Amino acid sequence: MKTLRLTLAHNAGPLAALAIFILMFAIYIAFHPAGLSSAVVTTATNKAVLLALVAMAQTLPVLTGGIDMSVGVIFVLTNCLASRLVVGTMPEALLGILAVLVAGSLAGLVNGLIVVAGRLQPMITTLASGAVFAGIALWIRPSPGGDVQSDIADFATGTLFDTIPVGLLLLAAVVLAVWVPFRRSEYGRAALAIGSNENAAYVSGVPTRQAKMLVYVLSGLLAAIGGILLTCNTYSGEASATVAGAYTLNSIAAVVIGGTSLAGGWGTAIGSVFGAFILRTIEDLLFVFDLPPLWQPLFQGAVLLLAISVGAIRVFRVKNRLEIFQ
Amino acid sequence: MPDPSILLEMRHVTKRYGGTLALSDVSFAARAGEIHAVMGENGAGKSTLIRVSSGVTDPSDGELLYRGEPVRFTSPLQAVRQGIVCVFQELSLVPDLTVAENLSIVDGPRRFGLANRRAEIERARALLDSVGCGDIHPLELVRDLTLSRRQMVEIAKALGRKPRLLILDEATSALTSEDVERVFAIVRRLRDEGVGILYVSHRMQEIEALADTVSVFRNGRHIETFKAGSKPVGDIVQLMIGREVESYYPPKSTAPRGETALKVDALSWGRQLKGVDLELHKGEILGIGGLDGQGQRELLLALFGALKDVGGTVTAGGQRLRLSGPTEAMAAPLPIALIPEDRKFEGLMLPMSVKDNMSLAALKRFSGPFGIDAGAEAAEQQRCLKELQIKAPDLDAAVSTLSGGNQQKVVLAKWLMTAPGILLFSDPTRGIDVGTKQEIYRLLRRLADEGAAILFYSTDYAELIGCCDRVLVMYGGRVTRELAGDELTDRNLLEAALDVSPMRRSA
Amino acid sequence: MMATPSASSWTLAMNRFGIDRPVQIAIGCIIALLAAGAVYSPAFLSQDYLLQQLQIATFLGVIASGAMMVVLLGHIDLSIPWVVTLGAMMATGLSGWIGPLGVVLAIPFGILCGALVGVFNGIGVAYLRLPAMIFTLGTNAVVQGLLVLLTGGSAPQDKATDAMRLIAVGRSFAGIPNAVLVWLVVGGGMIFLLRRTRFGRAVYAIGNMEAAAYLSGIRTGRIIVACFAFSGAMAALSGILLAGYSTKAYQAMGDSFLMPAMAAVVLGGTSILGGRGNYLGTVCGVILITLLQSILSIMQMPDAGRQVIYGAVIIAMLLVYGRERSTRV
């Protein structure tokens, strides 16, 4: 009994995010003119999965107390790369996917090396490396365009048995193949330990350096999966600084809404997935409620601000003024 | 010819941190099947000894031998895998992970290369049972445990690592007496099984009860190693301090009590303070005693305005305080100063220069329309440097480069610059060398003689007896007893602290 | 602010004037950049070119001043991009709303709007204790939403006033661009604030250890709010200068300034964790970044290569002196 209670308590953040998402999605479906149809869900999913992947990518460095400001850029960079490499015959395209995934991981490795071996602050490191990646993206694709293997794209953005969106299945597969093993590996635990108390982790013999390196590599890999899916959605590549910026910022918001502490040590990538779903559903809700498009950016910003302000409740419980400085 | 019973040996080990020598040419050996107590004052080099032994840091010089072979650990994990396991004073538990995860944080049970949670929980149950803490649920987060429970988990974690050499660094400091007995039993059992044990503690009784061999350290040097029981306690203390301990405390004042400086009525806050009354007079050093954690720290913080929603009234220099924050307390008719317990986090900005730290609280005095008057500021800094005999070669250097004692003097200087009428001291001599302690005692007395009113909380009874005119003993958030004059003895203080013979309650 | 105990008297003297190691390195890099430029074309050393670069650097310099104040506290202001736009739009729009008086009040009104956003940020960070990174991000989104709503619903006046033109592109004094004078005033004020006032000491103290600062009688909340307000005001002022420079205010005009501003602050030796840094360093960082951008564009380096070099240079410089201590000591 106590085991169950504690397990629930440890997952309160993601569970709350899931509950909010279900509520919002239910409202969305209830008011949507077409109701719950496979087409509606698939459209909603394909948008949400992209942010969900980038948010998962962001979660990993955040768990260690770091941050990846280049995650959106890697997403865009791999999009550009995929629009060149994931083309031609099926075997060629599959090889292209592999190459793009490797490229994304390499970008993450560069971040990891600078943070671990160079001992620079993650935020500044990834801001600067983001500029480099953006330059490379621009070099690969100076103007929007390119193509993607259409069988792969149609499969990835379509539905299975005309009901389940493939994007959702892909997301689930990524969670099971990347996040779950990571979280249960020595390094996943090390990542949380670093974010919680790096010194305690170090004296306990936790492989802190390797774990830090790994979170950035996996972050790059996850962003690359997102980049490939983006290509499947748009059938093209574009080195857009706006897209990169928006995804980076939204990924941070999704991570926070999903119950992960920005200070590190606490959180799950699954929570971030729900956080991303919530952010995307807000947009959809604005659509079904016919909010004038001009009001949408303001409304989105206000909801974001409100969502993160929930964390302020803590302050009003604190009775010792010194404790709020921790 | 190497002695086979020697587990870990140090030969001429030296460790420098910046300019300071933490260990200086130390040669030392820990043997299997022996409980070896390591003693010394704070700053004697005990923690560095542990850090070097357990692979947390490298020696700057000298040689480390483990089971007869020269070793060089590049990480704590290497030391752990070879059987050198440490119970750290500043716990090595990760607060946001569960107890089970912490106990198996490295080399735990695996399945397909991944953590096997079920097995981890089983392992945690077994380990917790072995230290008599079966009541801790393995899925509890470490941050939700009390300090004493965490300490037991830390010990369980060490046991789970199959130690050959177990290092306990102040491992019992937060434990209840029951848990201390349990730990003793475990330690003795391990010794009988042939494990070597390094036992670092300040508690003389524990050393007497447990140790086979004792080594004394002082100022980073290994002074002497001898069989336990071969020297009387007084001699050991003598070795630790390094000189005669005479006229340690300044003479007490004989002048009559001055007027009331601070009056506290029915002060209450949450569960920590349940109606504290006290009256502090000018020229008086009023001690606050009792067991640790009876609300003493909260009392001082409340008086300084750092706590919210405090009940009761506080009058300083005839004016009632709203207790809204330090700014108000510092602006009272008799300005209040708080010398906090935690120098590193509450007293100083460690990376900032000595100068900037010193004048931070008193900048108002030097500020004019054209900003801070650098000349006046520097003059006042020089005055304080001299008055407190602060040894700081470069005032522009970060305050973290100073020794603990000099750092504490910088905190004192910071508050003396504000010309306070009431000083609140929260355990000001913790972690400070004997010489500086004495200087602080003299300073306290001099300030009192000059008319300041001093409230002095200390965890060291000898200090309270030696320095204070009166001592209020706190128990469970209340002042339960007042001791003064001849009543002020070790025995009375201890009895009052334990609340065993409530002879007289204070008004 | 800081020095090693074994510093020589020369280093001590240099430090007294704020010329610490990061500043020395940055100055060295500036000289190297100019020399490299001069090899390419002697025009790089002409007075015209240098003054023009200083004028362009002002936009970044003013923003970086505000950003630095917040970074010294150990926080960060990510609302800068849209506050820049806000300042510009409010200043240009005022005359459309309140008539001729709006022309006179344009500049102070724009700055005030920026400062108000900053106060809002400060309250969220100082009193609600929300992470600055995410709270200012939310503010940025809200300001963006407000401006989209404003410019979409009506078409506010977006022409820069004469006064805005004057301070941005005028040269009323010995051929020195007025914008540079604005930066000089801001910079002089910053140096005075940081080095000679209680406020400045409080900023460093909070950045190092907020609890200790609070217990020393510093009203930490007010200081934090003031710093964010300053950051907002400076972002808005820069937006006003930008509008004057390009004759009008437009959407997203501040988007390209956040990253260079953070880079300038950090390249100048300010710790991103707070509590350490001096203003001269930020000035050098700003000039360095402006020169780098200018030289890359004059060399007709394509945008892609420009970004790569730009990011790589920043990382390389930080690797030289921005490293943290190792965990193993």
What is the side-by-side order of every strand in the sheet holding B336-339?
A: B336-339, B422-426, B453-457, B285-289, B470-475, B478-484
The least confident of A70-74, B13-17, B459-463, C125-129 is B459-463
Q: Is C15 in CB contact (< 8 Å) with chain B?
A: yes
SS3 A167: helix
C-alpha to C-alpha distance for A106 and A78, rounded to whole angstroms: 11
Does B431 have pLDDT greater than 70? no
Question: And the tokens for C290?
Answer: 């402006």
A14 strand-pairing partners: none
Q: Which of A184, A319, A321 sits opposite B114 (nearest CB)?
A: A184
For the segment C220-268, what is each residue's pLDDT rounded down to a tens digit?
Answer: 999 999 999 999 999 999 999 999 999 888 888 888 898 889 989 988 8
Proportion of chain C above pLDDT 90, given as a percent: 45
- Per residue in A216-274, pLDDT tens? 999 999 999 999 999 998 888 888 888 888 898 889 888 988 888 888 888 899 999 99
Asked which of A69-73, B432-436, C165-169 is least confident by mean pLDDT, the reply is B432-436
What does pLDDT average to over chain A?
Answer: 87
Among C83, C318, C325, C328, the residue to mutate for chain A (most A Cβ within 10 A): C318
Taking an 8 Å cut-off on Cβ atoms, the answer to whether B105 and A3 are in contact is no
Summary mean pLDDT of chain B? 85
CB A55 within 8 A of CB A274: no
Angstroms from C64 CA to nearest CA on chain B: 23
pLDDT of C133? 84
Q: What percentage of chain B reaches a pLDDT higher than 90? A: 25
Distance CA A270, CA A26 (A): 20
Q: Decide if C176 touches A, using CB distance below 8 A.
A: no
**Is beta strand B422-426 parallel, antiparallel or unpaired with respect to B453-457?**
parallel
Whether the per-residue pLDDT at B112 is higher than 80: the answer is no
CB contact under 8 Å between A320 and B75, yes or no, is no
Q: Mean pLDDT over residues B362-369, rounded?
A: 86
How much is the pLDDT for C220? Answer: 93
3-class SS of residue A157: helix
> Which one is predicted more confidently, B490 or B338?
B338
CA distance A91 to chain C (A): 31
B254-306: per-residue pLDDT in tens? 777 888 999 999 999 988 899 999 999 999 999 998 877 788 889 999 999 99
- Determine the Cα–Cα distance for residues B95 and B149; give it in Å rounded to an integer: 13
Give the number of other Cβ atoms within 10 Å of residue B5's Cβ.
13
Residue type, A93: A
Per-residue pLDDT reduced to its tens digit, A173-214: 999 999 999 988 889 889 999 988 888 888 888 888 999 999
* Averaged pLDDT of chain C: 87
- Flag if C214 and A321 touch (Cβ within 8 Å): yes
Both tokens assigned to A49: 């999965």
| Interface contact flag, B101 A189, Cβ < 8 Å | yes
pLDDT beyond 50 at B10: yes
Highest mean pLDDT of the ranges A61-70, A277-286, B129-138? A61-70
Of C152, C263, C322, the CB nearest to A294: C152
Nearest CA in chain B to C203: B360
8 Å CB contact of B141 and A319 = no
Distance (Å) from the alpha carbon of A208 to chain C's nearest alpha carbon: 10
CB contact, 8 Å: C40 with chain A? no
* Nearest residue to C321 via CA among C17, C21, C5: C21
pLDDT at position B3, please? Answer: 75
Min Cα separation C46/chain B (Å): 38
pLDDT of res. B412: 92
User: How large is the average pLDDT for residues B463-490?
Assistant: 88
Alpha-carbon separation of residue A30 from A24, A33, A274, C203 (angstroms): 10, 8, 20, 52
Q: What is the pLDDT of residue B425?
A: 94
Q: What value does the mean pLDDT take over residues B225-243?
A: 79
Chain B neighbors of A321, CB-CB under 8 A? 305-308, 325
Binary contact (C208, B340; C-beta < 8 A):
no
Residue B397 sits at the chain C interface (C-beta within 8 Å): yes
> Is residue B237 within 8 Å of residue B251, measured between CB atoms?
no
Determine the residue of chain C that is closest to A257 in CA distance.
Answer: C134
Q: What is the pLDDT of residue C249?
A: 87
Measured CA to CA, the distance from residue A182 to residue B114 in angstroms comes to 8
Is the pLDDT assigned to residue B129 strictly greater than 50? Answer: yes
Chain C contact for A312, CB < 8 A?
yes
CB within 8 Å: A128 and C318:
yes
Chains that touch C (3 or more CB pairs under 8 A): A, B
The reply to whether residue A189 touches residue B93, judged by beta carbons under 8 angstroms, is no
Name B359's Cβ contacts closer than 8 Å, sequence gap at least 6: B366, B377, B380, B381, B414, B417, C201
d(C-alpha B474, C-alpha B339), whole Å? 20
DSSP letter string, A33-66 = TT-S-HHHHHHHHHHHHHHHHHHHHHHHHHHTT-
Q: Which are the contacts of B86, defined by CB distance < 8 A and separation ≥ 6?
A: A203, B50, B53, B54, B76, B79, B92, B158, B166, B167, B169
- pLDDT of B438: 83
Note whether B96 contacts A265, CB cutoff 8 Å: yes
Residues 165-204 in A contacting C (C-alpha not used; CB under 8 Å): 198-199, 202
Whole-number pLDDT of residue C2 = 42
| Residue contact A135–C135, C-beta within 8 A | no
Please indicate whether, in this complex, the C-beta atoms of B397 and C211 are within 8 angstroms of each other.
no
pLDDT digits (tens, 9 = 90+) for B27-54: 988 999 999 998 876 667 888 888 888 8
Q: How confident is the model at residue C322 (pLDDT cuts 50, 70, 90)?
A: low
Both structure tokens of C242 = 């930008």
Query: pLDDT at position A172, please?
Result: 93
Q: Is C155 on the interface with A (CB under 8 A)?
A: no
Q: Which residues of A touch B95 (CB under 8 A)?
A: 196-197, 200, 265
pLDDT of residue C4: 44
Instruction: Tell me the average pLDDT across B311-326.
Output: 90
Q: Is the pLDDT of residue C329 over 60?
A: no
Helices (H), B104-146: 117-130
pLDDT of C102 above 60: yes
Nearest CA of chain C to the CA of A251: how many Å? Answer: 11
CB C64 within 8 A of CB C264: yes
**Is the pLDDT score of C3 beyond 50?**
no
Size of interface B-C (CB pairs under 8 A): 101
The alpha carbons of chain C give a radius of gyration, in whole angstroms, of 20
| Residue B502 pLDDT | 47
Residue by residue, DSSP assigns C302-318 as -HHHHHHHHHHHHHHHH
Q: Nearest CA of chain B to the CA of C197: how many Å?
A: 5
Secondary structure in 3-state letters for B293-341: CCCHHHHHHHHCCCECCCEEEEEECCEECCCCCHHHHHCCCCCEEEECC
Taking CA–CA distances from B56, the nearest residue in chain A reads A203
* Least CB–CB distance from B367: residue in C7, C198, C215: C198
Instruction: Please state the pTM of the whole predicted model.
Output: 0.85
Token pair 């948008």: residue: A47
Q: Do residues A249 and A145 touch, judged by C-beta distance below 8 A?
A: no
User: Looking at the complex, does the CB of residue A209 fall below 8 Å from at least one CB of chain B?
Assistant: no
**What are the φ and ψ backbone dihedral angles of A35, each rounded to 5 degrees?**
70, -160
Cβ of A138 within 8 Å of Cβ of C210? The answer is: no
Whether the ipTM is more than 0.90: the answer is no
pLDDT band at A75 (very low <50, low <70, confident <90, very high): very high
Closest chain B residue to A322, measured at CA: B306
Q: A55: distance to nearest CA of chain B, Å?
A: 21
Q: Which residues pair with C84 in a beta bridge?
A: none
| pLDDT value of residue C1 | 40
Can you tell me whether residue B477 is helix, strand or coil? coil
Question: Residue B278's beta-bridge partner residues?
Answer: B264
Q: How large is the average pLDDT for residues C304-320?
A: 86
**C205 and chain B in contact, CB less than 8 A:** yes
Instruction: Tell me the two tokens of residue A244.
Output: 């990169």
DSSP-derived letter for residue C326 is P
* Among candidate residues A32, A81, A80, the one with its CA nearest the CA of residue A285: A32
Q: Name the CA radius of gyration of chain B, rounded.
A: 25
Q: Which residue of A has its CA nearest to C325?
A: A119
Mutation target among C267, C306, C307, C324 for the A interface, most CBs of A within 10 A: C307
Q: Is the pLDDT assigned to residue B199 strictly greater than 80?
A: yes
From B81-90, B475-484, C71-80, the region with the lowest mean pLDDT: B81-90
Over residues C110-123, the pLDDT tens digits come to 999 999 999 999 99
What pLDDT shows up at residue A81?
93
Chain A neighbours, 3+ Cβ pairs < 8 A: B, C
pLDDT over 60 at A280, yes or no: yes
Q: Which residue, among B47, B78, B91, B94, would best test binding to A if mutated, counting the most A CBs under 10 Å from its CB? A: B94
For A113-160, write each residue's pLDDT tens digit: 999 988 888 888 898 899 999 999 999 998 888 888 888 888 888 778
Q: Tokens standing for B63?
A: 């040689």
